[in-house]
Amino acid sequence: MKETFMRMAIDLSIENIDKGGGPFGAVIVKDGVVIAASANSVTNDNDPTAHAEVNTIRAAAKKLGTFDLSGCEIYSSCEPCPMCLGAIYWARLDRLYFANTKTDADDIGFSDNFIYEELEKHYSERNLKTETMMRDEALEAFKKWSASENKTEY
């Protein structure tokens, strides 16, 4: 069955090119059943976060009515970028399968190396000019969250 689900992700990535999207597809499966499948829609939606994995996570969470996708697996046509890998961890997916590697993606112009390099730097040394401000005021939200009895942990 794993090959069937990966083939679906790969087919989505191939078909998406003719639809004007990037060559990426993903499928989320739970108990052998496809919960959600999507392709990259960054350029079609003018949304830089609309990667195949993120689109599929959003659809699966909506369908299952939960932000916790424990018990699910994701099949991606390509090794996830840092954003998608973070989303996969946040969604608590049990397993990741991927086909193309990040090196394969880099070879056709989809390189994430600059992000990996930036993450290793202190924020003051990153290319994205970054500064902290108003931390004391912002901590109020964290204090309120910590004290709240009505919060949903995630």
CA distance 98 to 130: 33
- Catalytic pick among 53, 118, 125, 149: 53
For residue 1 the two structure tokens come to 């069955």
CA atoms within 13 A on the CB side of 1: 10
State whether residue 104 is helix, strand or coil: helix
Annotation says 73 is catalytic: no
The strands making up 33-39's β-sheet, listed across from edge to edge, are 33-39, 25-30, 72-78, 95-100
Which sequence positions are flagged as catalytic?
Answer: 53
